[in-house]
Structure 1
Amino acid sequence: MSSEPRGITAADWEPWYQALDWAFGGIAESTEERRLWRGLVALDRCLGIYDEGQVVGTYGEFALGLTVPGGAVLEAGGVTMVSVAGTHRRRGLLRRMMARGLAAARERGDVLSVLTAAEPGIYGRFGYGVAARSLSAELDKRQVGLVNLPPGTDEVRLRVTTPAEALPACEAVYAELAGRRPGMLERRPGWERLGLLDPPAERGGASERRCVLAERDGRVVGYARYASRVEWRATVPGGPVLVKDLDATEPAGYAALLRYLLDLDLTDRVRLAGRPVDDPLTQWVSDVRRADLTLRDRLYLRPVELGGALAGRRYATEVDVVLAVTDDFCPWNSGRWRLTGGPAGAVCERTTDPAELTLDVRVLSTAYLGDATLGALAAAGLVGEERAGALAAASVAFGHPLAPWLPHGF
């Protein structure tokens, strides 16, 4: 066996992807989904490890643009399709693929590397931290209503259509929102098709997906893509409304959409997954305890080039701090860095000045988008303060008014 990863070609794709399917349980994806991912993945960023011609390791990447605090979009490699065959565990194959992938990302000029983890315990040793979490909710219509809705909710006009017909309007809403919240992905060509993916074989008894548009003065201000599954109990109808996407550029439009979903006939609950942790619905539900709110990890991140990553975002207040960072997996990031900047921009350069805060790259990754504060991480013993006052100032500077959010997986 050659344990070194190598690039793959178009001719290698089918056996490479089949090996990935088997590593994730052997249940093949639908033809529609398989075709979508093949069109989006950067083939020249895919790696394979082979044993006598058989694929025993896979690694892929998407070329993404990630919104960071301040609204800038930074180049990020979206690590995906990672697997090691069960027959070849504990031989260092994953480590080799991750090292090769991050070294190539550095050569390309990527500033960040991001992923969503099937098994979250794996990626901390490669410097990734949880940079954004998500919220799930199940609203039982018999027990939960909406209160304190924003002014103008009743003036929003709703119109039901198909996801395909509504796609241009939905994309315009998404584009307006993408710069507001860290963690959102710039919509690059082809990714709009993700919103149309609805294979019949994967509906689990639910309806075909529909789209409802929220309009004000003839302009679309929000949308929801959803399906419903009617479950009769004797002669009593029930079942969930399954919300795929819910976005709006204004609070009233969002509230009108949520109220519509709660009012749909022949259903008794609304399920929402992958929402921001500060989603407005938490302020509107009449009984938050009965909303069945659940937090989970969502986006994992690490800097590929630490200086570029810290200089690429903006800061809530002026900051001037020397960070001593350890990065065992990408040692070019290790050392002392002086970060200076604020709301207008930032500079981050190497320095020989004494360290004021000490932390590992995984901890910095967790604080990067503002999901966790440096102060909270210090309280967990993960940040050392070498100069009195440095921690409080940096913790405020790294914050953001809105929680980071990854709106869809990859």
Structure 2
Amino acid sequence: MPDPESRPSAAVTSPSVEVRSATAEEMPAVIAQASRQLGMSTDSFGGMSPEWTTCVFVDGEVATTYGAWPLQIRFNGPAVPIEGVTWVSTHPAHRRKGYLRAVVRKHFEQMRERRQAAIAALHPAWMAIYGRYGYASITTRTTYTVAPRDIQWRHPVEIPGRVREVDLETEFGLLVDVYRRYREERNALIHRGRAMWDAGPTGKPPAGHRQVVLAYEEDGEPLGYVVYHHGPGVERDRAGASQYLQVTDYFAMTPAAHQALWTILGGYDNVAEIRRPNAGPDDPLPLMLVEPRMLNARTQDGIMARLVNVEDALPLRPYPVATELAFELVDGFCDWNDGKWRLQTSLSPGGGSVERHEGDVDLRLGVDTLAQLAFGRISATEAAAAGLVDRVRDESVLTRWDAAWRTAYPPHESEHTW
């Protein structure tokens, strides 16, 4: 019998691993892979150009998918370019091999080279995954689940206008106009293309539900709108209403617009509950109701952002005061950000500057914490209380930093379409 040890062993070859953009011919395979791993229909993956992707191919087959939409976000008022990361998936056979890390690194290096956008953002499946790459949560979203009968006003306001139904086919521009005016001075709202509207707020409702679009107007000027659908879907073990009403988009610019639109929503006798996701942290509804606890408000994290190129990102937003902030930044993933910096703030977007610094600094912080400060998600004082900054030079530093990073509005982003 031959000695097993003497048998020639099969040749072991290392797989060919490529980190690159997909070609047009490879896009169907990329979409199929992302669809399977993310549990979404392939119909949800349209519009992505091959050059916006960064993927891992192992022996010519798709292992990791990743894409980045060129988007614009409101950054304490002005619109700035960002890369909206999406389509992130890895085939189970190729996980825990560092492929996603390689893709993210290549994407960030390309962003630095191109200098077209200094910030990346995404909707995280798990915050822990992206925190290791320097991302931080910059928005929160609140979901209301309220019975129509609980829409009762603590201080009813005069309603000088009227609510009317909107025909999406002929009056889609009305919604766009209200949304654009609302976001003008806001913080973290995304600019919507038509595909975003169609895939999200104005998309097809579930089977058996009717979609309704209402606008509030005064003297012919739209000051708010709500898009919703309603129909069966509430299981009950006793008699009563069995429908629910799902708000898919809502923006109102005045107290009268808020109360007029919500009064209509509260008038559905066959609806057991109104579900309103994505309310912002400064949404006035809780302050308006007699019993705000009946909103059953639930708050969770929203999008995460990453300052890929700090030198370019920080001057993009306006600041409430003109001052100088010196800090030591810790960034273990993008080493070009690591080290000491001096930020000269400006009241005008693009008017400030960020330069390398060799002197004393006010404090030290991580790039994830800096993103939260830049978008106004937290203050420097809150960051210090959570242990997110250290080596604070003196007590006055936090007060000065709080004033410098303050935003006109808290960050709020309401999309799930990228």
TM-score by length of 1: 0.91
SS of match in other structure, 2:240: coil
Aligned residues of 1:155 and 1:216 also touching (Cα < 8 A): yes
In 1: Cα distance, 2:257 partner to 2:404 partner: 31
Aligned residues of 1:115 and 1:300 also touching (Cα < 8 A): yes
SS of match in other structure, 2:333: coil
SS of match in other structure, 1:122: helix
Shift of 1:195: 4.8
Shift of 1:236: 3.5
Shift of 1:253: 1.2
Pairwise mapping of residues 46-57 of structure 1 onto structure 2 (< 5 A)?
46-57=53-64
Aligned residues of 1:163 and 1:195 also touching (Cα < 8 A): no
In 1: Cα distance, 2:147 partner to 2:311 partner: 47
Which residue number corresponds to residue 4 of structure 2?
none
Which residue number corresponds to residue 228 of structure 1?
230
Aligned residues of 2:325 and 2:343 also touching (Cα < 8 A): yes
Q: Name which one, 1 or 2, has greater alpha-carbon Rg.
A: 2
In 1: Cα distance, 2:199 partner to 2:317 partner: 27
In 1: Cα distance, 2:308 partner to 2:16 partner: 27
Aligned residues of 2:148 and 2:268 also touching (Cα < 8 A): no
Which residue number corresponds to residue 368 of structure 1?
374
In 2: Cα distance, 1:226 partner to 1:327 partner: 43
1:131 aligns with 2:138: yes
Which residue number corresponds to residue 321 of structure 1?
325
Which residue number corresponds to residue 158 of structure 1?
163
The amino acid that maps onto 2:33 is: A
Which residue number corresponds to residue 184 of structure 2?
179
Shift of 1:143: 4.2
2:33 equivalent among 19, 32, 39:
19
1:120 equivalent among 116, 127, 133:
127
2:404 equivalent among 384, 388, 397:
397
Shift of 1:189: 6.0
Aligned residues of 2:311 and 2:354 also touching (Cα < 8 A): yes
1:353 aligns with 2:355: no
Shift of 1:86: 1.1
* Larger displacement relative to structure 2 (331-340 or 248-257): 248-257
In 2: Cα distance, 1:171 partner to 1:182 partner: 18
Aligned residues of 1:240 and 1:270 also touching (Cα < 8 A): yes
Aligned residues of 1:164 and 1:196 also touching (Cα < 8 A): no
Which residue number corresponds to residue 78 of structure 1?
84
SS of match in other structure, 1:392: helix
Shift of 1:251: 2.6
Shift of 1:196: 6.0
Shift of 1:183: 0.2
Which residue number corresponds to residue 303 of structure 2?
299
Which residue number corresponds to residue 253 of structure 2?
249
* Larger displacement relative to structure 2 (126-135 or 302-311): 302-311
1:136–1:199: structure 2 CA closer, same or farther, 3 Å change rule? same
1:286–1:43: structure 2 CA closer, same or farther, 3 Å change rule? farther
Shift of 1:186: 2.2
Aligned residues of 1:114 and 1:301 also touching (Cα < 8 A): yes
In 2: Cα distance, 1:6 partner to 1:342 partner: 39
Shift of 1:350: 1.5
1:215 aligns with 2:217: yes
Residue ranges of structure 1 left out of the alignment (5+ in a row) = none
Aligned residues of 1:59 and 1:80 also touching (Cα < 8 A): yes
The amino acid that maps onto 1:93 is: Y
Aligned residues of 2:202 and 2:227 also touching (Cα < 8 A): no
Shift of 1:95: 0.1
Aligned residues of 2:381 and 2:402 also touching (Cα < 8 A): yes
The amino acid that maps onto 1:119 is: W
In 1: Cα distance, 2:396 partner to 2:226 partner: 45
Shift of 1:172: 0.6
1:260 equivalent among 260, 264, 267:
264
SS of match in other structure, 2:217: strand
Aligned residues of 1:74 and 1:111 also touching (Cα < 8 A): no
In 2: Cα distance, 1:326 partner to 1:76 partner: 22
Aligned residues of 1:175 and 1:187 also touching (Cα < 8 A): no
Shift of 1:206: 4.7
In 1: Cα distance, 2:112 partner to 2:211 partner: 40
Which residue number corresponds to residue 273 of structure 1?
277
Which residue number corresponds to residue 95 of structure 1?
101
In 2: Cα distance, 1:184 partner to 1:164 partner: 25
The amino acid that maps onto 1:226 is: Y
* Larger displacement relative to structure 2 (399-408 or 295-304): 399-408
Shift of 1:197: 4.9
The amino acid that maps onto 1:5 is: V
Deviations 1:368-407 (CA, angstroms, capped at 9, x unpaired): 2101111101111111212441121112221123211112
Aligned residues of 2:78 and 2:185 also touching (Cα < 8 A): no
The amino acid that maps onto 1:214 is: Y
In 2: Cα distance, 1:309 partner to 1:387 partner: 27
Pairwise mapping of residues 20-39 of structure 1 onto structure 2 (< 5 A)?
20-25=34-39, 27-29=40-42, 31=43, 34=44, 37-39=45-47
Aligned residues of 1:142 and 1:268 also touching (Cα < 8 A): no
In 2: Cα distance, 1:308 partner to 1:269 partner: 46
Deviations 1:235-267 (CA, angstroms, capped at 9, x unpaired): 633321100000122232122112211112411
In 1: Cα distance, 2:268 partner to 2:415 partner: 25
Residue ranges of structure 2 left out of the alignment (5+ in a row) = 1-14
Deviations 1:267-304 (CA, angstroms, capped at 9, x unpaired): 12211001102211121122122211111111101112
RMSD: 2.0
